[in-house]
Amino acid sequence: MFNRRKFIKASALSTALLAIDKKSMANVVPSAVAPTNKPIVISTWDFGVAANAAAWKVLSANGKALDAVEQGVWVPEADESNQSVGYGGLPDRDGKVTLDACIMDEAGNCGAVLALEYIVHPISVARKVMEKTPHVMLAGDGALQFALEQGFKKENLLTPASEKAWKEWLKQAKYEPVMNIENKLYDKASPQKLPGNQYNHDTIGMIALDAKGNLSGACTTSGMAYKLHGRVGDSPIIGAGLYIDNEIGGATSTGVGEEVVRNVGSFLVVELMRQGYSPEDACKEAVMRIIKKKPETAKNIQVGFLAMNKKGEYGAYAIQKGFTYAVCDAKKQDLVIKGKSYY
């Protein structure tokens, strides 16, 4: 039978407990939570420095993280000397430049284009997919058709330097992802001097936290050089190449995309941060997952993860040495950090 007196007693007690709880929280929370470092933007590889600078213009003017990441990655997408992203990217085996990109905002909205040809800024087409369609991904000819309908210009993306590299590659036609080429050999002044397979692959993955404390991310690449026509990597796959959860943080990846897809890498990193891992430890755990499943493969490939949490703390981890990332915040505009690695 319902006992009114007991009920009143119990609810009085819980109200009292709630009051104590609120009071103690009021004492504890402000001093226990470290101040958030915002705005801040991070991105993969040395070429992230120039991309971060463009993103910073948006962030430092109190702009949105979403605009910052889109405008940030425009820089390598348009940079013809960067042969692993956008215009000037190395082609597939058939000599076609096919681009993969995705974008994700603080509300969990996302858009992606897969194997898109002829458009210099695939990231902006991905954003249009997110904002103007009920879909998340558009691929190949359909993605191109949509881009043209949205007013994007059709352009030849195969530069003379990349065409030359491809023709050189065709002589042996051996598909061999090369590790960390960007650091040792990235020679912006004269990329054409380098042999055919030396800018084999890379991606710009970028995560920004804006002044309002909102996170967004972007990821864009021409993928693995000399891949099969139609091959899609991790970069445009939400959860693999990029993932953002505005409550927790964001993660992005670079390297051999097949291994990242197999492990849903970026989602894994964010979920590990949810469990309390630091960004670097979360990236490390995701790398270890890849190594554990395929130790022999992992010896000869590169995969790197980069992550930031809601407090603006960041970290990275890669299978191989040589992975770098760029950081830009109010303290430092052009910081390049060597990511830790398993080997």
Q: What is the DSSP letter of 102?
A: E
The amino acid occupying position 16 is: A
The amino acid occupying position 246 is: N
The amino acid occupying position 297 is: T
Helices (H), ranges, 159-256: 160-170, 181-185
Token digits of residue 180: 């960390």
Residue with tokens 């996170």: 215
> Taking the complex as a whole, how short is the minimal distance between the CB of residue 200 and ligand ASP, in angstroms?
8
Q: Which is nearer to ligand ASP, 45 or 277 (CB)?
A: 45
User: Which of 44, 98, 159, 203 is flagged as catalytic?
Assistant: 203
# chain residues binding ligand ASP, by CB under 6 A: 13
Token digits of residue 264: 């849903």
Residue 201 in contact with ligand ASP, rule: CB under 6 A = yes
Answer for which of 224, 248, 251, 287 binds ligand ASP (CB under 6 A) is 224
Residue 250 in contact with ligand ASP, rule: CB under 6 A = no
> Taking the complex as a whole, how short is the minimal distance between the CB of residue 340 and ligand ASP, in angstroms?
18
Q: Are 101 and 218 in contact (CB under 8 A)?
A: yes
> Taking the complex as a whole, how short is the minimal distance between the CB of residue 261 and ligand ASP, in angstroms?
8
203 in active site: yes
Q: Which is nearer to ligand ASP, 235 or 341 (CB)?
A: 235
Q: Which is nearer to ligand ASP, 59 or 143 (CB)?
A: 143
Backbone φ and ψ for 183, nearest 5 degrees, come out as: -75, -45
Residue 67 in contact with ligand ASP, rule: CB under 6 A = no
> Residue 40, Cβ neighbours under 10 Å: how many?
26
Q: Which of these segments, 33-41, 52-60, 137-145, 253-261, binds ligand ASP (CB under 6 A)?
A: 253-261
N-terminal to C-terminal alpha carbon distance within the chain: 68
Residue 255 in contact with ligand ASP, rule: CB under 6 A = yes
Answer for which of 76, 233, 239, 322 binds ligand ASP (CB under 6 A) is 233
* Cα torsion 36, 37, 41, 43: sign: negative
Q: Which residues are catalytic?
A: 203
Residues forming contacts to ligand ASP in the complex (CB under 6 A) are: 201-203, 221, 223-224, 233-235, 254-257
